[in-house]
Amino acid sequence: GQNIDQPTEMTATEGAIVQINCTYQTSGFNGLFWYQQHAGEAPTFLSYNVLDGLEEKGRFSSFLSRSKGYSYLLLKELQMKDSASYLCAVIGGDYKLSFGAGTTVTVRA
Amino acid sequence: IAGITQAPTSQILAAGRRMTLRCTQDMRHNAMYWYRQDLGLGLRLIHYSNTAGTTGKGEVPDGYSVSRANTDDFPLTLASAVPSQTSVYFCASSENRGHATGELFFGEGSRLTVL
């Protein structure tokens, strides 16, 4: 089975930076996704990492270390609209996608 | 706008009743999935289909069935609903077979309450 851990909640100030960590223990590894989900809405794709290193996409960056079973999502220049849940999801050796419980980020003025 | 359409968006159902959640996509994606989302547990895969005519069991398949008669439609049926099936259900699709190579596109969700 898969075990994916991420913090339940985080709070940050508008304009600041927040880092959401995700650790995983899986039987094999074939990639890691980050999704954003606003309250009452569907999840939407943010990033995909399969190799070690940092992937930057505008204000959002995602990092992966396969040897440590670790990823983080970095949100820079926080805006009020970034208040949402952020879901870490891992593709295991069986090519099944498993989601963490999600991290709710609250951005305050 | 192209994408995934789910129906109904919300439903209250008596325990023991049969219910089908509908899902239609117009992106011609090969793979489709049904997830349930519960507070504190995240998204859990119920059933999936890698291509029309095939289906597979996910993490929590008991009490649910699916069919994939064509590329576009992937209905989820609760044969006899129970209160533990109260949840938000998301249908999703991906261009490629299986999860490995494609991001998921989600429908807007169906909120089901079983009393």
Task: Express each pLDDT in B61-84 by its tens digit.
Answer: 999 999 999 999 999 999 999 999
Closest CA of chain B from A27, distance in Å = 14
Cβ partners under 8 Å of residue A40, min gap 6: none
Between residues B95 and A73, the one the model is more confident about: A73
**Angle B46-A91-B33 from CA coordinates, rounded to 5°:** 30
Record: contact B45-A44, CB cut-off 8 A: no
A99 touches chain B (CB under 8 A): yes
Contacts of B109 in chain A (CB under 8 A): 41-42
Checking if the pLDDT of A95 tops 90, the result is no
Contacts of B43 in chain A (CB under 8 A): 43, 87, 89, 99
What pLDDT score does B2 carry? 67
Closest CA of chain B from A55, distance in Å = 16
Which B residues 47-106 touch A at CB under 8 Å?
Answer: 58-59, 90, 98-100, 103-106
Checking if the pLDDT of A1 tops 60, the result is no
Measure the CA dihedral B87/B57/A31/A38, to 10°.
-10
What percent of chain B has a predicted confidence (pLDDT) above 70?
Answer: 93
Checking if the pLDDT of A51 tops 70, the result is yes
Average per-residue pLDDT in chain A? 94
Between residues B50 and A19, the one the model is more confident about: A19
Tell me which residue in B42, B99, B103 faces A101 most closely, judged by beta carbons.
Answer: B42
Q: What is the mean pLDDT of residues B29-58?
A: 92
Closest CA of chain B from A76, distance in Å = 23
The one-letter amino acid code at A95 reads Y
Checking if the pLDDT of A30 tops 80, the result is yes
Q: What whole-number distance in Å separates Cα of residue A99 and Cα of residue A35? A: 10
Tell me which residue in A41, A42, A95 faces B99 most closely, judged by beta carbons.
Answer: A95
Q: What is the mean pLDDT of residues B75-97?
A: 93
Q: What is the mean pLDDT of residues A2-30?
A: 94
Checking if the pLDDT of B99 tops 80, the result is no
With cut-offs at 50, 70 and 90, classify the pLDDT of residue B97. Answer: low
Q: What whole-number distance in Å separates Cα of residue B47 and Cα of residue B67? A: 10
A31 touches chain B (CB under 8 A): yes
CA-nearest residue to B43 within chain A is A99
B1 touches chain A (CB under 8 A): no
